[in-house]
Structure 1
């Protein structure tokens, strides 16, 4: 055996560091599993924990005790009384404004009254998110209805969470605009941090879009006011970073109000805004540079992209990008352009489509220079005046087409390349004209089928079905083309591994398995149906088929690893 040389202290230190890293990862996974079990109501066996993980048992038990005390305090404060209490009954009534259930406590012999919280009476829960719970509340001293937001993690919150919660209140209070909900008070009661803001009697844009179709001019009017509010925030150095339909409330008169500055940042604090590797926001409405976690040179441009994404949903009733997981949505945000709104609804005016797509440009430099400029274009549209139209070059148009329809463009390039080869072969070698006509016809069928599947893929509920059918159609068409080709056909078999590799760009393991399977079936059908030098070598067929399977398995392994890393770091950012 070769001499490996003497072991040094640095080698031991490296092994110890690796061992500690493995233990840290194991500890994090164990803690996550235990918290999930507690949330499901399962009992944690502490004796087994102390026996199996003596190093971590004490720390974990202390953490679980704190977790139980926190939930007990919150449940005692906000949960309705038990039906076993003979002096309390639980009543529920239908709220005529929101349709939600309103829970209140009524003691025996007394009139109904809400839950007391400091100087406020909580009337009902409006909404809850990652940072806090929002209630409709009555400010007893001033006798006015407000929206009261309570931080969920209370005393166990980290300094970063407390800072974010306070900054949300400070950012909203600092901006004076009629379409930004004003902040009244920041305080603490029962050990819980809260702030109050004006109560908007209405619904958010997300609910409004689900309930009814918003007309283009109405959408432009709403977004004009929201863009003006965002422009005011930008002038005061505040970047929202989480603009989406659910963060825009619309009252009964149709007036929009911007809320939830929980992810907002001061523009001058560049270090916090441009932290590499940090993804904050909602994927479907997130700017590409924000989704990729890269350094952001112009943070305000992220809000401009989100304004365009919200306008897109108002016009089309669907988000610009959608997928089975946030990871799939992020991939599309970074690499693809959305389908143009008029592809989904022909009634959308071209000028409004232009405003929407300009705000959603991948390159921040190609977007509106400011939210104020976008608001001015929306005003021009509402006044039937011409909007500003930057003239894209031919290169810009080609790049936009490629980003918007990468699958279709790839198919068109491949189909036309094969078509040119078939026609050139016919002219040079003067092969059977009847066979050439069949090939050309098949290529035209492939072209028409690709256009049809592309149209289906932009429909929200048909996207997945269209992609799976499209893949099967590609393999079937390509197999038929090889069947009609003249021997030797060996070089044409490169198409199968190309299709399998292309399926990996969707980052979906089952899709790769499906494409690999249909490619293998197509190759086997060729082996038993054509007379070709390749079919005379059984070992060649076995090796080639094994290569397809190995390629598919490698892609599946890579996709699962990437998705696992994405889920791990995604939980860390929540």
Structure 2
């Protein structure tokens, strides 16, 4: 065996060059790396060979990092999403561990060796190559944050690229995210108001620099060791004076539970500082109640609620919340941006007035606004009560104008009244998350059963009121759940079969009854198909990085 002393000098030199190259790469010394590659054609050939082999490897077994060739700033495809598994060396930073990740980036706790300080290092999150759009958004976030200097906004120290990986270094905030704190339970009203004052002031500073955050939520706010909130994560920030086409019309970006209605609808031309005010209101709502204004089973249902619905009153969730604080919160959550606070500064000022015991500017709207909010908050109940009330009025007018059996009339009125009261009951259950599915099923079965009873008792089974059955099937599609559509269809078919048994005249001629049954089935199939198409879009949305 050959001893090291007997080894070929050229081989020893090549080994030294490889060792120097690896050291330069680990230190992030691009000048030394490029110099070594220029100095040794052999070393360049080795690196190119390794890079070519690396491109053939599956991503899950790719090496941590591969040197970038001079003149080409792109990394080889083997760059992995988690190259150092939370620890290691990245340029002049020693990675101490991963502290979090989101749709676009991963954040490490790191030590900056030259200044001997602890920082947070955010790198772009991509399984292999980062797309041009991801890099653009990542750099836009860094530029947006680097312009800001505020005690409640995380400070950016450096923006750069190492080994083809884009990164920026920022203050490492010792503390806990607001989302983790709220997950343990609702905050005291005064504490929530004080923190929101600081958050709103930080957001106002963003706006004064021409930046809209667009992704304000509790997980993007840290509470530091001094108990002060710090706003961070500007991954979706929109810079007013940028001309790079950062926001595409119709693109929905953000977190559904906290985005404004105009943002949820993809109307990006309408996104403004008041959109951030809405998000602040959604955060305040969660801080006070322990839950966001809208949180459905999937993003699609949440987006629909953000656009069309109205959150439950805070005092229905937590009776001890002061009325003034509820008014402030709901002024932020207005559907119409013009009805919200004009700025985050106005929100901060009104919260300060509340904390000082002074009258707040937020006030309860007029009667029409209250009715509109109630309808948005409980649309199913509103439609039921309106329709049943109309039916009660029509039946009563018929009784006055046309000679009718009093007993039959009383029975029909009783059924309609029972339907009216049951609608209220099912709505109360719908407001409770754990009983929502029971409420929907009960509403469907109850609607079909009580409608059938009313038709039989009124003797109107031969009339045009049979069209209400397909109407109920179509209306069930508004819940965006295919099983509920088929349940309504089945209930309607069973009810129509019962009518055929109770009213023999409906079977003459027999093919008319068959046509009605077929129409009910086709209505259910068409509605279920359409709901399933919408659900497909929802599943696509759920897989999108936000």
Shorter-chain TM-score bucket reads 0.7 to 0.9
Contact 1:127 1:133 in 2 (8 A): yes
Quote the residue 1:107 is aligned against.
Answer: none
- For residues 311 and 138 of structure 1, the distance between their equivalents in structure 2, rounded to whole angstroms, comes to 35
Q: Is 1:549 the equivalent of 2:521?
A: yes
1:516-537: per-residue Cα shift (whole Å, max 9, x none)? 1112112212222x23632444
Residue 391 (structure 2) pairs with residue 418 (structure 1): yes
Alignment correspondent of 1:78: 84
Counterparts of 1:438 and 1:128, CA distance in 2 = 62
2:533 corresponds to: 561
**Structure 1 residues 460-518: Cα deviation after superposition (integer angstroms, max 9, x where no partner):** 33333322222222222222222222245432212211111111122222221111111
Q: CA distance change for structure 1 residues 140 and 174 in 2, over 3 Å: closer, same or farther?
A: same
The offset of 1:439, in angstroms, is 2.4
Of residues 327, 331, 338, the one that matches 1:354 is: 327
Kindly state the Cα deviation for residue 387 of structure 1 after the two structures are TM-superposed. Answer: 0.9
> Counterparts of 1:271-286 in structure 2 under 5 Å?
272=245, 275-286=248-259
Deviation of 1:399 after TM superposition, in Å, equals 2.5
**What is the number of equivalent residue pairs in this alignment?**
480
Give TM-score, length-normalised by structure 2: 0.82
The corresponding residue for 1:380 is 353
Post-superposition Cα deviations, 1:417-458, rounded to whole Å, max 9, x if no partner, equal: 111122222222242223322222222222222122222222
After superposition, the C-alpha distances for 1:367-404 in whole angstroms (9 at most, x for unaligned) are 11111111111111111211113563443333222222
**Contiguous gaps of at least 5 residues in structure 1:** 1-60, 80-102, 104-113
Contact 2:415 2:450 in 1 (8 A): yes
Q: C-alpha distance in 1, partners of 2:301/2:243?
A: 29
Residue 242 of structure 1: which of 206, 215, 222 is its match? 215
Unaligned runs of 5+ in 2: 1-52, 63-75
Structure 1 window deviating more from structure 2 (388-397 vs 437-446): it is 388-397
Q: Secondary structure at the match of 2:257?
A: helix
In structure 2, distance between residues paired with 1:149 and 1:368: 33
Shift of 1:158: 2.7
Report if the CA contact (8 A) 1:312-1:341 is conserved.
yes
Deviation at 1:134, TM superposition (A): 0.9
From the superposition, tell whether residues 354 and 64 of structure 1 become closer, same or farther in structure 2 (CA, over 3 Å): farther
Matched ranges for 1:99-498 at <5 A? 115-153=88-126, 156-269=129-242, 272=245, 275-390=248-363, 392-498=365-471
Please state whether the residue corresponding to 2:415 is helix, strand or coil: helix
- 2:68 maps to none
**Are residues 509 and 311 of structure 1, via their aligned partners in 2, closer, same or farther at CA, if it must alter by over 3 Å?**
same
Which whole-Å CA distance do the structure 2 matches of 1:225 and 1:76 have between them? 34
What is the SS of the residue equivalent to 2:270?
coil
Residues 408 and 269 of structure 1: CA distance in aligned 2, closer, same or farther (over 3 Å): farther
* More deviation, 235-244/400-409: 400-409
SS at match of 1:135: strand
CA contact (8 A) 1:202 1:250 kept: yes
TM (normalized to structure 1)?
A: 0.78
Quickly say closer, same or farther: Cα 1:569–1:210, change in 2 above 3 A: closer
**Cα distance between partner residues in 2 of 1:246 and 1:75:** 22
SS of 2:269 mapped into structure 1: coil
| Alpha-carbon shift at residue 135 of structure 1 (Å) | 1.4
Contact 1:290 1:296 in 2 (8 A): no
| CA distance in 2: counterparts of 1:64 and 1:326, whole angstroms | 37
Q: Which has the higher relative contact order, 1 or 2, with Cα contacts under 8 A spaced 6 or more apart? A: 2
